[in-house]
Structure 1
Amino acid sequence: MFMPVSRAIDQLNDKIAAAVSWALLLAVIICTGNALIRYAFNASSNAWLEIQWYLFAAVFMLASSHTLRRDEHVRIDVIVGRFSKRTQVWIDLLGFLLFLMPISLVILYYGVPFALESLRSGEMSSNAGGLIVWPAKILVPLGFILMVLQGLSEIIKRIAFLNGKLDASAFSKQVATPEEEIEAIKAANKMN
């Protein structure tokens, strides 16, 4: 019943992550251009530095939920990997309910007024030649709205798995095991 909601959230975060991935390329281009101009002509601007920070903030804040969706967030696989899949799913579910959702909601509670006040006041950077600040501050609530949505999607998927209605491949990281990675490294070393 809730799986269509989960799929819609997953698709939303996939599309946002694909779009925002271009911000990283743009940040690298701006950084490179700014460095070349600074060294070649001894000229620079705080605005160019700040736009790099804003672009990186956009990538980080708007793609973090996609990282959660792909199960690529930091975790303690060495310990948790020894448990059964069902126990791992229970650990994930408790982590989402006791840690991810509460802290995300607290950050949203404080982040929305923080961003709206910056927008209302037209806050500017204190750096000479700096940019307006509110676009960067709005990224905080936007990022955590996406995180809350993805958290709900992950909770839905874990509950569906525990009820036997979903295979774990729907939310598991599709990468090599540590043993497979070690074997790949050994094979690569033999070739050298």
Structure 2
Amino acid sequence: MQALDKVISVIDRITELFGKLISWLVLYMVLMTFANVVMRYVFGISIIALYESVLYAFAISMTALAGWALMRDQHVRVDIFYGAMRPRGRALVNIAGTVFLLAPMLWVLWSRSIPYVERSWKLRETSNEVAGLDYLYVLKTFMLVFVALLAFQAVSFLLKNLRIAVLGHDPDAPLHPDEI
């Protein structure tokens, strides 16, 4: 069990570090959006590359932070019975969702995105805007980053839920009398 805890801990620490690093893009988006608005409506200046950089930052943060959201249990659930379940039941739902829904989705996204990203890199694809950014191929690479980071964190998520399913409770959380 200690080896399992160590693997979970390492994955979670890496995800946390990466999540905190990428989350700084949110500040960048706020500041650059403010700058764009001021420049456009006060000075009458519009810089397409600056506007696109905000879009890039948004796309990067949404794709790169998916694993962090999974680790922090901030992902979307569409299960009306989940909240009323005991820890073992929730763990079994999480295991089934990871194995039968998340893993196949990640595989399809990975396998379908590789040719798309490869083609973009071969062409060194750029913005359709004349004054836009020249790095669309780098942005498209974040589809693969999304899959890799989410799959990496899904391993930790799966291991945590396997541990809960076996033990009947989360050893990291305090036990409540109604959950025994």
TM-score by length of 1: 0.82
Alpha carbons 2:127, 2:133 under 8 Å: kept? yes
Hey, what's the Cα distance between the residues in 2 that align with 1:65 and 1:139?
13
Alpha carbons 2:87, 2:168 under 8 Å: kept? no
**Correspondence for 1:94 among 78, 93, 96:** 96
**Correspondence for 1:128 among 127, 130, 136:** 130
The superposition leaves residues 158-191 of structure 1 with CA deviations (integer Å, 9 ceiling, x where unpaired) of 1112222972646xxxxxxxxxxxxxxxxxxxxx
| Correspondence for 1:79 | 81
Alpha carbons 1:50, 1:131 under 8 Å: kept? yes
- AA aligned to 2:141 is I
Alpha carbons 2:114, 2:144 under 8 Å: kept? yes
- AA aligned to 1:123 is E
| Correspondence for 2:117 | 115
Alpha carbons 2:87, 2:169 under 8 Å: kept? no
Hey, what's the Cα distance between the residues in 1 that align with 2:165 and 2:117?
38
Give the 5 Å matches for 1:1-192: 1-76=3-78, 78-132=80-134, 133-164=136-167, 167=170, 169=172
* CA 1:163–1:94: 2 relative to 1, 3 Å: same
- AA aligned to 1:167 is D
The superposition leaves residues 104-128 of structure 1 with CA deviations (integer Å, 9 ceiling, x where unpaired) of 1110112223222212211011112
* Structure 2: unaligned runs, 5 residues or longer: 174-180
TM-score by length of 2: 0.87
Hey, what's the Cα distance between the residues in 2 that align with 1:166 and 1:82?
15
- The count of aligned residue pairs is 170
Give 3-state SS (helix, strand or coil) of 2:42's partner: helix
Which consecutive aligned stretches of 4+ in structure 1 deviate over 3 angstroms post-superposition?
Answer: none
* CA 1:168–1:100: 2 relative to 1, 3 Å: farther
Identity %: 25
- AA aligned to 2:74 is E
| Correspondence for 1:186 | none
Give 3-state SS (helix, strand or coil) of 1:163's partner: helix
Hey, what's the Cα distance between the residues in 2 that align with 1:166 and 1:134?
45
* CA 1:161–1:90: 2 relative to 1, 3 Å: same
Q: What is the CA RMSD across the aligned residues, in angstroms?
A: 1.7
Give 3-state SS (helix, strand or coil) of 1:2's partner: helix
* Structure 1: unaligned runs, 5 residues or longer: 171-192
Hey, what's the Cα distance between the residues in 2 that align with 1:168 and 1:89?
13
